[in-house]
Amino acid sequence: MHTKTVAQLAQGLQQGEFSSVELTTAYLERIEKLDGQVNAYVTVTAEQALVAARAADARIKAGTAGPLTGIPIAHKDIFCTDGVRTSCGSKMLDNFVAPYDATVVSRFKEAGVVMLGKTNMDEFAMGSSNETSYYGPVRNPWDLNAVPGGSSGGSAAVVAARLAAASTGTDTGGSIRQPAALCGITGLKPTYGLVSRYGMIAFASSLDQAGPMAQSAEDCAIMLGAMAGFDKRDSTSLERSVPDYRAGLNNPLAGLKIGLPKEYFGEGLDAGVARVVEAAIAEYKKLGAEVIEISLPNTHLAVPVYYVVAPAECSSNLSRFDGVRFGYRCEDPKDLMDLYKRSRGEGFGPEVKRRIMIGTYVLSAGYYDAYYLKAQKARQLISNDFKSAFEQVDVIMGPTAPTVAFNLGEKSSDPVTMYLSDIYTIAANLAGLPGMSIPAGFVGNRPVGLQLIGNYFDEARLLNVAHQYQQVSDWHSRLPDGFK
């Protein structure tokens, strides 16, 4: 059962081939047997999962089930889950049990989904390798010596290892797409504001966006249908009707205009990754698409802009973690200032501290105009590049990451090199555009992802473009040795 996609599992449940209880039990047994190798789960909610599975079976029997009823998935441990620890991969929240559900979680509950547990992640979503987690690094199921990418590395690994049928992730600068690429799965970052951020612990509020991670584009379409929609509790949520994202999956691609940014195929791109991406684009030509070279001239500004804007917002968002109201508190503080200093000093890890310090600096008097304001102006230039590009093409393609998964520990002592792992993904977040990564092949035994970037609210087209490629390739259905 674990080899089936969400769509196939839903069909099996509806036709009575197996029950949700049987399916959930099978996944829980796989988690118990295999998760020790990858460290992808922080919390496994076995009892709650079986209760939800029994309720799902009752809904299926009563004929009131939806396309996700009874499907076992995992949530990134950044989403608040009522009565379940929500750690954000940090010592700071190791003892925090959320008193409510994030909107994403509650919408999946309403859909009848079974939550298997919460997945490991870079601390407060800050990282590109899932090595900053308080609970230790996640390992890539394709090569246990390699990183899975970050920050949604646990969510990517559980899908790649088939320890969940699908998962949720968040993407602030590539944190759905980059781990999806490195783990050989499909991941979608929706348009900013399409999915509610309520109950999703904030890192950088103008960039954060939740999205689905699964085997296939069809699975992501099913999940996005449940996740998307207006939420009055989120001030950045957009009032738009939710389309049927599956309706156009089988539309032909004849006449589709694909833009290839020349900036994505230059220095820094691994030759093996380039060959795989070029082969995937050749398949799109066979499917009737037209390929056009385009330019995104301000691409080189994306990383420096991001590492001013994101730390600035994180320094503000993380000021609430002070040892007073919830989360970690130091032992025997001498006074209030000692409580603040030691609780934050002991509760946060090195990468989080680094970004808080950078963010506080760029927002400080005398430096705000020189750094933060200038970064916001450059952010607009990046957005304008995409606006011009989409006047010529329907979708933009290129590599998701410049290399395949690197080895554990290889870049952890060099933050700047680590930050460059997201060089192709960050711009979509700065512009608020939707982006996807789909499996396109391998370099050695490590997966390569093809990135698709669409215009605002063009998720249906992205899913269609991805699905058509997955009809003529099998990269998305391959399983790593040891997890078959």
Count of residues in the chain: 484
One-letter identity of residue 88: C
CB atoms within 10 A of CB 387: 12
Tokens encoding 275: 């060959």
Q: How far is CA 321 from CA 88, 251, 335, 365, 423, in A?
A: 12, 48, 17, 23, 30
Give 257: exposed, middle or buried? Use CB within 10 Å, 0-12, 13-18, 19+: middle
Which residues fall within 8 angstroms of residue 146, CB to CB, at 6 or more apart? 139, 140, 182, 404, 405, 406, 407, 408, 446
| DSSP-assigned letter for residue 411 | S
Residue 292 CA to residue 441 CA, distance in Å, equals 22
- What is the Cα–Cα distance from 292 to 116, expressed in whole angstroms? 44
pLDDT for res 263: 95
* Cα angle 440, 118, 438; round to 5: 10
pLDDT of residue 45: 98
Positive or negative, the CA dihedral 77, 178, 429, 151 is positive
User: Residue 365: which pLDDT band, with cuts at 50, 70 and 90?
Assistant: confident
Q: Does the structure show a pLDDT above 90 at 414?
A: no
Region 421-430: mean pLDDT is: 95
What was the pLDDT predicted at 366?
86
Range with the poorest average pLDDT among 18-22, 240-244, 369-373, 429-433: 369-373
DSSP-derived 3-state class of residue 149: coil
pLDDT band at 413 (very low <50, low <70, confident <90, very high): confident
What is the C-alpha separation between 223 and 209, in angstroms, rounded? 15
Tell me the C-alpha distance between 183 and 162, whole Å: 11
Residue 139 binned pLDDT confidence (cut-offs 50, 70, 90): very high
pLDDT of the residue at 26:
97
- pLDDT for 86 equals 97
State percent of the chain over pLDDT 70.
100
- Can you tell me the distance from the alpha carbon of 245 to that of 76, in angstroms, rounded to the nearest whole number? 23
Asked whether residue 416 carries a pLDDT value surpassing 90, the answer given is no
pTM: 0.96
Catalytic residues, by residue number, are 76, 151, 175
pLDDT tens digits for 393-411? 999 999 999 999 999 999 8
What whole-number distance in Å separates Cα of residue 211 and Cα of residue 423?
A: 20
Return the pLDDT at 106.
98
The predicted pLDDT at position 420 comes to 84
Pairing of strands 257-261, 72-76: unpaired
The mean of the pLDDT values for the chain is 96
Q: Please name the residues in contact with 341: beta carbons below 8 A apart, sequence gap of 6 or more.
A: none
Rg (CA), the chain: 21
Give the 3-state DSSP-derived string for 201-223, with helices as H, strands as E and coil as C. Answer: CCCCCCCCCEEEEECCHHHHHHH
The sheet that has 290-294: what strands, in order across it? 41-44, 114-119, 72-76, 166-170, 210-214, 186-189, 435-443, 446-454, 395-399, 257-261, 290-294
Contact 126, 355 (CB under 8 A): yes
pLDDT at 145: 97
Write down the CATH superfamily of domain 6-255. Amidase signature (AS) domain (3.90.1300.10)
Please compute the mean of the pLDDT values over residues 239-245 and round it to a whole number. Answer: 95
Tokens of 448: 């390569």
